[in-house]
Amino acid sequence: MAASWLEFLGLLVRWLHVIAGIAWIGSSFYFIWLDRSLEPPAPGSEAERKGVGGELWAVHGGGFYHPQKYRVAPAVLPEKLHWFKWEAYTTWLSGTALLILVYWLRAGTMMVDPGVAILPAGAAIAIGAAGLVVSWIVYDLLCRSPLGRNDAALGLVVFGLLVLLSWTLARWLGGRAAFIETGACIGTIMAGNVFFIIIPGQKRMVAATRAGQPANAVDGLRAKQRSVHNNYFTLPVVFTMISNHYAATYSHPYNWAVLALIGAAGVLIRHFFNLRHHGIHAWQYPAAAAAVLAVAAWWITPRPIRLPPVQGEVNFARVRGVIGQRCVTCHSPAPTFPGITAPQAGVLLHTPETILANAQRVYQQVVVTRIMPLGNATKITEEERAVIAAWIQAGAKPD
């Protein structure tokens, strides 16, 4: 019963995480578009005299809008200001809760892969938690260093360090957990930018303006830099959120490099749209992204792995015995594996009919990508994988 309630709690937290993420990413995309689309007010106009640096007219939902951005701050602030922060905070809090519920509380299965490294569950959790903290500290120090004044160089160094982070995580954790933890680290950087840099800077600007003092333009510049960074992080972090559905990516021997390629493609695509908001149609960037994704697709195409020769007759009864011992603990109407309350991905393998219906899926996950059993928790052998492969190659007959 407790496991069932935990599963339902995970559903609610995941739902909240997706909703909050849509709101945060949507506002990021909108404000970058808005900032890049502003046009200077007419010389001598009232807007220019008020200190407006850019403005635009837009129509949406049957109404006309006229956003204006001040070079620093207006002379007088209204009492009511709209802040954009809870989207970020809710996304990070719900994402961290989901990380704990799905991965940390089941670390022995979801994070530890004996084929990668033999770790106690506590050590795997410690590695994941340390990544969240260290990634923010290193990134923030880089932004505050002299390197932070060169956006292009800073971007390349941060990307390189994130690749190093994913490589490190992939050497200690199972592939799926390494991808999720890398995404959590990027999400922590993004939320840290909002909590430690953007919002405090905006609060200082508001306080100075209301006190009749000039606002510090550095706060605005620093907040804009971190906001732009968050904008470029969005597509890679969204990929890590959905990556657990695509075993060919995280089960690859060089999964960290696959993640780097897909992340780089996301950055290139985002850069194209950011330039396009300026009226620059730099099609070389999506073309490069398509080429990078094509390389990734070719690279993750499963290659046959040499399996040991099968001794004895291969028939359905033998295959059913392997699946019954290695797979049914999770893939049955009432799973008996600790922490699993429903058949994973909705796949049932407890009857001859369900095994035959999912034969190709079993082959893909057990023989080709080899991601199942997850972390090889049920200790399937190479000989047993070979039995399944031989049965499939012979036509997956029910005898």
Q: What percent of the chain has pLDDT above 90? A: 79
User: Which pLDDT belongs to residue 2?
Assistant: 64
Average pLDDT score over the chain: 93
Per-residue pLDDT reduced to its tens digit, 189-205: 999 999 999 999 999 99
How far apart CA 139 and CA 142 sit, in angstroms, is: 5
180 and 244 Cβ atoms separated by less than 8 Å: yes
Which amino acid type is present at position 90?
Answer: T
How far apart CA 334 and CA 340 sit, in angstroms, is: 9
User: What global pTM score does this model have?
Assistant: 0.87
Burial 47-70 (b: 16+ CB within 10 A, else e): beeeebebbeeeeeeeeeeeeeeb
Q: Which residues pair with 60 in a beta bridge?
A: 63
How far apart CA 231 and CA 227 sit, in angstroms, is: 6
Which amino acid type is present at position 130?
Answer: A
Q: How far is CA 89 from the centre of its chain?
A: 16
Counting Cβ atoms within 10 Å, is residue 105 exposed (0-12), middle (13-18) or buried (19+)? Answer: middle
Asked if the model's pLDDT at residue 380 lies above 80, the reply is: yes
Which amino acid type is present at position 15?
Answer: W
Q: Mapping DSSP to helix (H, G, I), strand (E, B) and coil, where does residue 388 land?
A: helix
Per-residue pLDDT reduced to its tens digit, 68-115: 999 888 888 998 999 999 999 999 999 999 999 999 999 998 999 988
Asked if the model's pLDDT at residue 246 lies above 80, the reply is: yes
Q: What is the mean pLDDT of residues 227-254?
A: 94
107 and 15 Cβ atoms separated by less than 8 Å: no
Res. 1 pLDDT band, cuts 50 70 90: very low
| Pairing label, strands 63-65, 58-60 | antiparallel
Q: Which residues pair with 69 in a beta bridge?
A: 54
